[in-house]
Structure 1
């Protein structure tokens, strides 16, 4: 006998941390009704997961919340670079890197930039935005079980406060339920990778005098290498609130209970080189660095996202950013299928695209921890520092998936960052003018498929409208040039066609997530037929 269904919703999201809340935000922006449940009573109170890379900030820009995030992150705006030193008081110190974006060169490639915003500051911004868009977000609610069939997923939810249970029927389920994901276990999905790398205890503490010693060294993190008390020091407010990551060795039988207030305080004093420092421990939380990737990103109508799909070493914040970008990739595909302008096969491309990215990125995260001699992790000799960071953060590609004209055996992350409009890559950023208002090409991508043409693209415009009507796909068409008949004008001194790899009469098809789906470098005999075929192939129509 089927249980009585209490709620029906197109998408159920399990997990209300960064990835789950981002999924709610992105679905809300696309008008997809959904329910999010999180077993904890509130958003995170622990300052962690602070590095938001340029690609993540681009997504938040398009979603309209970048200014709110930067306001929430303003206290750490002066902080740059990672310092390594035996102590804060000695003369010996080395900047592993001093600036995230030396010389401001990133502005050439993106309208956004890196942002240092701790998880406890970012999650409330995401929550407010998600709820403002109609997201039904319920904390203190856990997923007890779920069953799926050909038409949907039936989930049993329970309030952790009252014990009340409700049955929810959804068409799809996003499991953003963390590294020990019960959903992944229930689906029987295994994992690949090196496994556990190292363990730390994250200690929050107050120490007013510490700011005087740090002075103008406004670092993101300082790796302190005293062999008697190593660890990583991170500022919370650059004044009195700090975090210290101390190595922990449960593999040697060391219990978490061994990290008493007295031990933590003594460890911090020794590490920073201030034996008389007044330290007040305010909290502690264990965490485990690992390199694991799920063998599959979903089964049927249930999809994994974030830590349930991949675990990465924390150095470089690759894990949280990869998870947020998972959610963005999946959101537009769910919206397209639910709204009827894509076939269900489009959802199969989620794992085809995102799993290879996680594999490469998790390896890069582990290497970066070694490069930086992260406390508790062994150094790998001969690995170059900062190598390929922008390529990993912004230049990853989808050789296979909802794309046409790619090399299926091509590199997921190229050796160096390139932005040239190739299918499978993030579409290039270029500043444009519309009625005197400046906008980025990236601001065009969210709600629909987008076709870009240069001057003389009349045949593409006309063919695109007919093709879109025939296949019932939302398609925005923009002709970019300096003529009165063009829709958008490139900023003076920029070349739209060259930047996007187009010759005269060419066109570029971009997905709602800003990735190039298909490109015609030049004119074709029948633009309508070419574009219709591309839309059908990409969207499984």
Structure 2
């Protein structure tokens, strides 16, 4: 067994969250190794809904345009459709729910939106290609087979194409899925209801459905024919699709019974064309699940994505919550590795992300109990959501807040679970509000670094920022007073907001940074 030493971060898992964790660490200047048991990025899309916060993170990495280019343009199209078969849908026998159209104020809360849905395999291909261009250390066909840690590092044992090797690193990020090897090795249990509903089979197939669709476009379509009921989801809207069908375990069915030949027959029936040319590319079994790890961090090891929480699918919260985990953690690991923060900063990862994950799981479960609460439109649907405690989906994605030592005087509860603009009001712990400043978004001004935003009369703050080495920008916005200042973290979260200038603003900023970064307080000389 060969031995190698690697002083930074090991990322376990090469799905979307693992790839983006590696991309964010690389972006922050932290060398990272990614290990994944598969031979490359998955070709099988597991999710297609990329939320607004994930798009903002992709924008931070400079990947938003590349991901938008591989997304399916569904502007003005159906978000959800219901039809007996695809053939009958194309003939006009279909019920559709439009893609959610943001209210006018929602267009004002984020600088960029994807034009439609982007299948997870396409997202992964973009991120993996960018990492390869940057020379990232991606070790495919490699699995973790052992892990131990001590006060100064983590020792892992890996098994890859060239045999076994031992590696020592400073920290490990486990993004290795629902049945996480790392979580199990750490002895971390899970809480929550667990498996929900029936076992499902996800059929990835290639077939040209355009002649049958006759120009119809949709994100998902519920097929109701009794012979092959299921959910058809767009991958490219033309020739690549996934079809989800139930595996009736009670009737004696097993996932292995769904051979490529049987799956092709199911697809033909669902489409309504017995002679359809179908190529079954991949078949996966899955089951809706709602669960969370009992803790998201153990010593120098951190759980992200499905290793930390598995979210039931309605609402498209699962992938996006995992990406937000990575975004929260990466800059903190970077600050510690670069000597800019004390190790106590890493304690705020679990403190911040565990409550957000719990709230997200709760919101997904409330939708699962009654899907109309998610898809319904109009005043009656709004009233039903309010009665059921269901937040507006954009608030789940963008409006949640942090309460930890890395925020000064946090306001953990959003003032509105319906109005996203009201939730993003600049309170400490919330995502900095988006506003255009000379054609540049405030989110872009942050640019992955500590940033000070000051009011229109904030000259003293600008001078103080220069003294302590902080980038600073004057902004004329309603959520910041003329003499006030807002300190924004590298992840775009408001760390501090004040309405007035202090007697010594440079000292004040230094003390705030020392506090939120858990930096040791110098002992005065005697």
TM-score (norm 2): 0.88
Partner of 1:471: none
Q: Structure 1 CA distance, aligned partners of 2:63 and 2:13?
A: 21
Partner of 2:401: 397
Partner of 2:456: 455
The 1:451–1:382 alpha-carbon spacing in structure 2 relative to 1, beyond 3 Å, is closer
Residue 515 of structure 2 is aligned to residue 537 of structure 1:
yes
Partner of 1:414: 417
Deviations 1:104-127 (A, max 9, x none): 754311111145221221112111
Q: Structure 1: where are the runs of 5+ without partners?
A: 375-380, 469-473, 481-495
Residue 205 of structure 2 is aligned to residue 201 of structure 1:
no
Partner of 1:289: 288
Deviations 1:214-251 (A, max 9, x none): 22321011012334432101233322332111012346
Q: CA deviation at 1:303?
A: 0.3
The 1:383–1:13 alpha-carbon spacing in structure 2 relative to 1, beyond 3 Å, is same
**1:29–1:133 contact (8 Å) kept in structure 2:** no
Q: Structure 1 CA distance, aligned partners of 2:251 and 2:416?
A: 37
Partner of 2:270: 271
Q: Structure 2 CA distance, aligned partners of 1:102 and 1:463?
A: 39
Partner of 2:472: 477
The 1:522–1:249 alpha-carbon spacing in structure 2 relative to 1, beyond 3 Å, is farther
Partner of 1:212: 211
Partner of 1:522: 500
Deviates more, 1:347-356 or 1:520-529: 520-529
Q: Describe how 1:164-179 pairs up with structure 2 within 5 A.
A: 164-179=163-178
Please state whether the residue corresponding to 1:303 is helix, strand or coil. strand
Partner of 1:23: 21
Q: CA deviation at 1:94?
A: 2.8
Please state whether the residue corresponding to 2:471 is helix, strand or coil. strand
Residue 429 of structure 2 is aligned to residue 424 of structure 1:
yes
**1:392–1:413 contact (8 Å) kept in structure 2:** no
TM-score (norm 1): 0.86
Deviations 1:180-204 (A, max 9, x none): 0011011111111121113211112
Q: Structure 2 CA distance, aligned partners of 1:59 and 1:181?
A: 25
Aligned residues: 501
Q: Structure 2 CA distance, aligned partners of 1:188 and 1:353?
A: 22
Deviates more, 1:28-37 or 1:98-107: 98-107
The 1:338–1:61 alpha-carbon spacing in structure 2 relative to 1, beyond 3 Å, is same
Q: Structure 1 CA distance, aligned partners of 2:500 and 2:214?
A: 57
Q: CA deviation at 1:279?
A: 3.9
Deviations 1:419-447 (A, max 9, x none): 211111000111122xxxx3211112244
Q: Structure 2: where are the runs of 5+ without partners?
A: 374-382, 520-526
The 1:292–1:371 alpha-carbon spacing in structure 2 relative to 1, beyond 3 Å, is same
The 1:108–1:98 alpha-carbon spacing in structure 2 relative to 1, beyond 3 Å, is same
Partner of 2:487: 509
Please state whether the residue corresponding to 1:313 is helix, strand or coil. coil
Q: Structure 1 CA distance, aligned partners of 2:273 and 2:72?
A: 28
Deviations 1:31-58 (A, max 9, x none): 1111111111011111332211111011
Q: Structure 2 CA distance, aligned partners of 1:260 and 1:383?
A: 41
Q: Structure 2 CA distance, aligned partners of 1:509 and 1:155?
A: 38
Q: Structure 2 CA distance, aligned partners of 1:216 and 1:295?
A: 48
Partner of 1:157: 158
Q: Structure 2 CA distance, aligned partners of 1:346 and 1:365?
A: 30
Partner of 2:140: 139
Q: Describe how 1:58-69 pairs up with structure 2 within 5 A.
A: 58-69=56-67
Deviations 1:67-126 (A, max 9, x none): 11122225777865111234341665332x312335675431111114522122111211
Q: Structure 2 CA distance, aligned partners of 1:111 and 1:76?
A: 19
Q: CA deviation at 1:464?
A: 3.1
The 1:217–1:367 alpha-carbon spacing in structure 2 relative to 1, beyond 3 Å, is farther
